[in-house]
Amino acid sequence: MKMVKCFMICEYFKCALVDVYISCRCFPIISNLHVTLTNKSFVCGQLMRLAYLIGYGMDIERSPVNSAALSMLPWPKPAVWPSFPPDASNEVLAKEKKILQANTRPKHFGIHRKPLPLEPSLLLREANRRRASLSAGNMFELSPSFAEGLSLDALRTPPPNKIPASSMSRTNSSPGNFEGSLDRPMRISEIHVAAEHALQHTISDPDLWKCLSSVQNFEQKYLDLTKGAADNYHHSWWKRHGVVLDGEIAAVYHKHGNFDLAAKSYEKVCALYSGEGWQDLLAEVLPNLAECQKILNDEAGYLSSCVKLLSLDKGLFLTKERQSFQSEVVRLAHSEMKHPVPLDVSSLITFSGNPGPPLELCDGDPGTLSVTVWSGFPDDITLESLSLTLAATYSADEGVKAITRSTATILNPGKNNIFLALPPQKPGSYVLGVLTGQIGNLRFRSHSFSKGGPADTDDFMSYEKPTRPILKVFKPRPLVDLNAAISSALLMNEPQWIGIIVRPIYYSLKGAVLHIDTGPGLKIVDTHVIEIESYTKVLQTSTQNTVDDRNSVSAATKEFTQLTLNDGKIQLPDWANETTSVLWFPVLASDKRLARGTSSVAPQKQSIVDGMRTIALKLEFGISHNQTFERTVAVHFTDPFHVSTRVADKCKDGALLLQVTLHSQVKATLTILDTWLDLQPGFVHTGHDDGRPSSSILPLIISPSSRAGILFGIRLGSATTGDEAEALEQGSILNIKYAISGNRTIGAHAPVDGESSASEGNELGLLFRSALVLQRPVLDPCLSVGFLPLPSGGLKVGQLISMRWRVERLKDLEEHAVSPDNDEVLYEVNANSENWMLAGRKKGHISLPIKQGSRIVISIICVPLVAGYVHPPQFKLPKVDEANISCNPAGPHLVCVLPPTLSSSFCIPS
């Protein structure tokens, strides 16, 4: 039925319009659906053109499709345009009044659209041109559809009476004399009246004339035809055409206030236009949808429509219109929305990293990330909060990490540079993910366009830029190194410069703070400032320069600074951010013990642990002092000399030559200015009573790591037994006044304060004291211990054997006292319990007469337990010093023990 109805309307048009009103083609009756749908859509357009001919154009909703269809359809081209009847003056006046009072209804947001030139100018020009042509048979201007099936008589109308052309006014709407001739141009109102009267005499179908009799009837007829065509399209594969026609239906609904149905149709139309990229058509329809949504209190939909309007091409709307879109968005964002929804503003706000290399940070470092944000809003807009997400490129399991900027951000139209505080991230490479933020109470989200962004332009749309890293965080690596500047030993009990090398490893130490904590036995000298200088300059400094000369030279350069220690902390200067530097600070290592010399007969091993001191260092650096480096540095302190003694010779008069050997223990030149020896009781000086050396060789210069010898003449003096015991505990004191010449960059040097210890004669110099233990029986032992030979039969396991030792007094007790007990000597026999079993007394006292040559034999029964070469039992005199004992002959180191004799035994039952 719809198909038959479509062709019936076409026949109505053919019979009614003839060649005066429209050039309508005659379509044969076929069963093709596409042709049928096209015919029905074409009939709707032709019917709309008829309405324009009779003056309904100002009351018809100009939708995009209607405007496009009517602009492409030609106006009728009859040979002679019909004139209006003589008695139609009232109708012309009514048409004139209606044209003058017609006002175009403005769209929502105050949008004004200039209509397409459909009428009246083109219609007026075309109609008067046809009237001026007196050719009644101008068939070549007719369309082929009119030439088929129409007689020549039907194409002609009686020509009206002619009047002078000068009496015709050229105005379009002013009232005037309606009587005229063919030469007088017709006004637009006259054209409408003439067309309406011609249709009344031509259309024979009452239904067709009814639809053209009033605007309301026309709209109802047009709505029925459009719905029928839309339904046919929706039931076919041409669904998009049906959606377009739904937009025409929505325009009529919107005009009459049926906003609910209009909004539903407009949503489908806008989705189609947006998907196809038809922004010009979308700009015509979307404001109507927004108006419907606002009236229906659809806040979410209205907000989305406003954002879409802002996202369209800037040339489609005026600046004031775009500003009204933004004002609606801001108004809704700061209002209390009943159902707030997240908003996608990726078409308005997009972002990317700045051109150039990505931001490079180390593990644990915060930073400041610079991001370019493009705003498509026509005016400035304030974002209450802004956050970005970073996505790791190396692992999808890491997820995304948000970077939030809590302060308000004002986005200007176009390009904006935003700086965000970046918290420490895990090592890896990161790209930008999603931008989110808040405008008032509205939370928005931007995505899909953050793939690099344009580098040097303000265009905020970017589809083709590849994703590139915006941040690179390096894996944990050493960022700085702290080491002692010297490895040689420094002077004990004297203020010395300690050097700490601070070496940044491709990392800035701007604002770094060094904490210094000295260990036990070491303190920082507070009376002096701390110095820092370039490590390169330290290497270039000549060792011949003194400390004062070097400081005067370094102070003139920017790579030398004097610092102050505050609560154990030092802040490094700015020039040391990227370069290796040396930090010098004075310390004093204290050791209250008196240095003790050694004897060449019984040398003692030096312990390096005694002079070791530690310094705990902690460096805080990084962008916000989040990086720390801790290290404990060990520094060795020592005495300038190591003293060893030996008796060089014994003269006939009993005098002794004591040789004192001085070993230099520092990397510096030592100059001995003076030396003297304070002897312990039981010894006296020979020659010089003041204790000076026997020969004048001072001053004596000792090079680094070298040695020198000094001879003192002494002899044995009279002393009681009590004095001699006290002398053994105290010992003699060797005093050395010396000077040191060195450089702090290579080791020991002159003390920091420059003050020297005062000695006799008020001469300046450093004083070193060492204790020397001199034993009176240096060359003459008092006792002799000998091991008596073993039996000739040898030793066997399990066999009893007598071990014997002989003790003999070599000197009288009156001259060489050894023990306060006079004739009592303590002995002790020690043996390995796994090798020997002792059957006698292992420890006891023996009575040894005080007369020289007195002797006694001590024997003990032993049983060897194992065969082989084993150590024999050892005989000792615990209370007698080894220097007073002469072993002659020496005891055997190993003895051979044979296995036991083979034997057999019988088991007898009990």
Q: Is 135's pLDDT higher than 80?
A: no
Higher pLDDT, 77 or 505: 505
Average pLDDT over residues 605-619: 83
Higher pLDDT, 655 or 416: 416
Task: Give the per-residue pLDDT at 514.
Answer: 93
Which of 236-245, 440-449, 751-760, 880-889 has the least mean pLDDT? 751-760
CA distance 599 to 862: 37
DSSP assignment of 114-160: PPPS-SSHHHHHHHHHHHH---TT-GGGS-HHHHSS--TGGG--PPP
Kindly tell me if the per-residue pLDDT of 522 is higher than 80. yes
Taking residues 288-294, report their average pLDDT: 90
More confident residue, 15 or 115: 115
Q: Is 605 exposed, middle or buried (0-12, 13-18, 19+ CB in 10 A)?
A: exposed
pLDDT of 161 reads 38
Q: Given the DSSP bridges, would you call strands 783-787 and 801-809 parallel, antiparallel or unpaired?
A: antiparallel
**What percent of the chain has pLDDT above 70?**
72
Structure letter (DSSP) for residue 900: P
For tokens 């470092």, what's the residue? 365
pLDDT value of position 517: 92
What's the CA gap between 369 and 588, in Å, rounded? Answer: 48
Give yes or no for residue 574 having a pLDDT over 70: yes
Task: Report the percent of the chain where pLDDT is more than 90.
Answer: 8
Residue 691 CB partners (closer than 8 Å, separation 6+):
676, 677, 678, 679, 685, 712
- C-alpha pair distances (Å), 534 with each of 148, 161, 573, 578, 743: 106, 115, 11, 11, 16
Task: Write b or e for each residue in 253-269: b if 16 or more Cβ atoms lie within 10 A of its Cβ, otherwise e.
Answer: bbbeeebebbbebbbbb
pLDDT score recorded for residue 3: 32
Place of tokens 């076919």: 236
Q: Are 48 and 71 in contact (CB under 8 A)?
A: no
pLDDT of residue 24: 30
For residues 873-879, average pLDDT: 87
Min mean pLDDT across 371-385, 397-411, 570-584, 704-718 is at: 397-411
Q: Would strands 669-678 and 522-524 be described as parallel, antiparallel, or unpaired? A: unpaired
Three-state SS for 5?
Answer: helix
Q: ∠652-658-663 over CA atoms, to 5°?
A: 155
* Residue 175 C-alpha from the chain's centroid: 81
What confidence score (pLDDT) does residue 86 get?
77
Tokens for 764, please give them.
């300046």
Nearest in space to 442 (alpha carbons), one of 329, 551, 564: 329
- Please give the average per-residue pLDDT across 278-289, as a whole number: 87
Q: Would you place residue 49 in the very low, low, confident or very high pLDDT band (cuts 50, 70, 90)?
A: confident
Q: pLDDT: is 764 or 370 the higher one?
A: 370
First to last CA, the chain: 140
Region 284-307 average pLDDT: 89
Q: What is the pLDDT of residue 101?
A: 67
Which residue shows structure tokens 């220097």?
Answer: 883
Q: Which helix (H) or strand (E) holds 343?
A: strand 343-344
What pLDDT, on the 0 to 100 scale, is given for residue 37?
A: 39
Question: Is residue 603 very low, low, confident or very high in pLDDT (cuts 50, 70, 90)?
Answer: low
Report phi then psi at 702, rounded to 5: -120, 120
**pLDDT higher than threshold 90 for residue 502:** yes
Condensed to tens digits (0 to 9), the pLDDT of residues 247-271 reads 888 888 888 888 899 899 889 889 8
For the chain, the structural domain boundaries read: 12-99+121-133+184-225, 257-337, 340-452+467-473, 487-539+560-636, 639-717+731-752+765-772, 783-898
User: What's the fold here for domain 639-717+731-752+765-772?
Assistant: Immunoglobulin-like (2.60.40)
pLDDT band at 43 (very low <50, low <70, confident <90, very high): low
Report pLDDT for 737. 92
pLDDT of residue 1: 34
In three-state form (DSSP H/G/I as H, E/B as E, the rest C), the secondary structure along 283-304 is HHHHHHHHHHHHHCCCHHHHHH
Name which residue leads in pLDDT, 56 or 567: 567
Band of pLDDT at residue 434, cut at 50, 70 and 90: confident
State the Cα–Cα distance between residues 142 and 22, nearest whole angstrom.
Answer: 10
| Residue from 184, 177, 191, 198 nearest 89 by CA | 177
CA Rg, the chain, in Å?
A: 60
Residue 413 Cα distances to 180, 325, 417, angstroms: 61, 14, 12
The answer to whether residues 288 and 107 touch, using CB atoms and an 8 Å cutoff, is yes
Over residues 658-662, the mean pLDDT reads 88
Q: Which amino acid is at 633?
A: V
- CATH numeric code, 783-898: 2.60.40.10
pLDDT of 26 > 50? The answer is no
Q: Which of 170-184, 225-239, 281-295, 323-337 has the lowest mean pLDDT?
A: 170-184
For the stretch 55-70, what's the b/e string if a residue is b when 16 or more beta carbons lie within 10 angstroms of its beta carbon?
bbbbebbbbbbbeebb
Could you check whether 340-452+467-473 and 639-717+731-752+765-772 share the same CATH topology?
A: yes
Q: How far is CA 756 from its chain centroid?
A: 54
The DSSP element (H or E) to which 483 belongs, if any, is strand 480-484
Mean pLDDT estimate for the chain? 75
Arch. (CATH architecture) of 340-452+467-473: Sandwich (2.60)
User: Which pLDDT belongs to residue 453?
Assistant: 42
How confident is the model at residue 900, as a pLDDT? 85
- Per-residue pLDDT of 791-802, as tens digits, reads 877 888 988 888
Give the alpha-carbon dihedral of 244, 248, 254, 256, to 10 degrees. -160
Strands 343-344 and 442-446: parallel
- Who has greater pLDDT, 722 or 482? 482
Amino acid, res. 107: K
Coil vs helix vs strand at 786: strand
Tell me what pLDDT residue 622 has.
84
Q: Which range has the worst mean pLDDT, 120-129, 321-330, 829-838?
A: 120-129
Q: Who wins on pLDDT, 51 or 493?
A: 493
Q: Is the pLDDT of residue 596 over 50?
A: yes
Asked whether the CA dihedral 240, 241, 242, 247 is positive or negative, the reply is positive
> Which residue has better confidence, 52 or 140?
52
Of 904, 732, 886, 872, nearest in space to 789 by CA: 872
Burial (CB < 10 A; 0-12, 13-18, 19+), residue 7, is middle
User: Tell me, what's the pLDDT at 458?
Assistant: 44
CA distance 432 to 448: 11
Give the least confident one: 93-97, 254-258, 267-271, 736-740: 93-97
The C-alpha atoms of residue 310 and residue 386 are separated, in whole angstroms, by: 21
Topology of domain 487-539+560-636, CATH: Immunoglobulin-like (2.60.40)
User: How far from the centroid of its chain's Cα atoms is residue 57's Cα?
Assistant: 67
Question: Whole-angstrom Cα distance, residue 671 to residue 706?
Answer: 12
Count of C-beta atoms within a 10 Å radius of residue 449: 21
Q: Residue 776: its pLDDT value, please? A: 58
Q: Judging by DSSP bridges, how do beta strands 471-474 and 359-362 pair with one another? A: parallel
Region 18-37 average pLDDT: 28
> What 3 state SS string does 825-843 have?
EEEEEECCCCCEEECCCCE
